[in-house]
């Protein structure tokens, strides 16, 4: 089994653990912004220490990078902040597994954006997969307890947050892969560590400034929640490092395709840890989107 496949599976597992912790904090102690900030704030010390330690242990100088590195890294980091915020806010709307599945539309959205922006062609099988995913999204976004016209049942906050998070995660993945490729080194792990250190630091500083301005008191709450949040930072760092290293080795679309095992992990977490029930309708939607994103990943 190739290294990038193992890394993608490991990243999906770590990411599921991190979202579980983030859901717990967001539904109790912290706001969506506070829970998002905690993910980066508690990851930063681990990331910087790991990057510095790797440079010392391997007796390697900090590699050079182009000006485009900053553009890719900062754009990817900003997109990830907004994407994570959307997912945390989504947890308050729907259950854990449904929230993660909405996020996984990132693969489908990548194919659509590639066609519109870059003119990338897709096969008939790829088009069928996209349509299948759209059906799954419509099934998941339909809220039975709401009454009234059909568009109120389909166009709602949960659907919007899920789809937006998928689009933003797709942008961040492309940005991170672009950033790692702009570093002058043949060491995939070193490129991933340098990029991750720069991105996580910028995200922490940016979100700290935002919370100090708009949500006073949340930074104090994040520090107070350190017993749980520190584990979120550690799992977040491990997941991001696996994703970043995989992106240096393989096209992001293929990495995401393997990473769809996160949907299975989230189902296990939803039932075993949160005691949530998956309805037949939600199960159908999850199954359709899972089949869709896997097919798109294979045929990109």
90: its two tokens: 């989504």
Name the pLDDT band for 153 (thresholds 50, 70, 90): low
pLDDT tens sequence across 129-140 = 667 766 776 676
Q: What is the pLDDT of residue 9?
A: 86
Chain centroid to Cα 90, Å, comes to 13
For the chain, the average pLDDT equals: 79
What's the predicted TM-score (pTM) here? 0.78
- Residue 68 · residue 178 · CB < 8 Å: yes
Measured CA to CA, the distance from residue 188 to residue 168 in angstroms comes to: 24
Write the CA distances from 257 to 6, 46, 52, 110, integer angstroms: 12, 28, 31, 11
Rounded mean pLDDT, 158-163: 75
Cross-strand bridge partners of residue 65: 183
Find tokens 């998956």 and name the residue: 278
Cβ atoms within 10 A of the Cβ of 94, count? 23
Q: What is the pLDDT of residue 21?
A: 74
pLDDT tens sequence across 63-83 = 998 888 998 899 999 998 898
Query: Is the pLDDT confidence value at 128 over 80?
Result: no
More confident residue, 56 or 26: 56
Query: Is the pLDDT confidence value at 118 over 50?
Result: no
């Amino acid at each position: 089994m190739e290294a990038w496949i193992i890394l993608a599976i490991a990243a999906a597992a770590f990411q599921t653990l991190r979202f579980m912790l983030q859901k717990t904090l967001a539904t109790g102690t912290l706001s969506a912004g506070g829970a998002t900030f905690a993910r980066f704030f508690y990851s930063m010390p681990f990331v910087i220490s790991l990057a510095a330690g790797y440079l010392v242990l391997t007796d390697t100088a900090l590699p050079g990078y182009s000006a485009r590195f900053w553009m890719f890294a900062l754009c990817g980091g900003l997109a990830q902040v907004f994407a994570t915020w959307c997912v945390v806010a989504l947890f308050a709307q729907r259950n854990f597994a449904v929230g993660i599945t909405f996020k996984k539309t990132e693969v489908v959205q990548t194919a659509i954006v590639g066609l519109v922006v870059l003119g990338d062609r897709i096969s008939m099988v790829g088009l069928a997969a996209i349509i299948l995913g759209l059906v799954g999204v419509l099934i998941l976004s339909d809220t039975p307890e709401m009454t009234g016209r059909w568009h109120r049942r389909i166009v709602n906050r949960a659907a919007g947050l899920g789809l937006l998070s998928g689009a933003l995660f797709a942008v961040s993945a492309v940005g991170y892969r672009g950033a790692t490729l702009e570093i002058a080194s043949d060491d995939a792990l070193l490129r991933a560590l340098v990029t991750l250190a720069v991105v996580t630091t910028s995200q922490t500083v940016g979100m700290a400034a935002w919370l100090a301005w708009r949500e006073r008191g949340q930074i104090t709450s994040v520090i107070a929640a350190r017993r749980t949040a520190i584990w979120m930072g550690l799992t977040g760092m491990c997941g991001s490092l696996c994703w970043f290293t995989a992106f240096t080795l393989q096209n992001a679309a293929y990495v995401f395709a393997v990473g769809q095992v996160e949907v299975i992990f989230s189902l296990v977490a939803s039932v075993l840890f949160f005691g949530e029930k998956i309805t037949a309708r939600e199960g159908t939607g999850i199954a359709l989107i899972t089949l869709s994103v896997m097919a798109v990943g294979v045929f990109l």
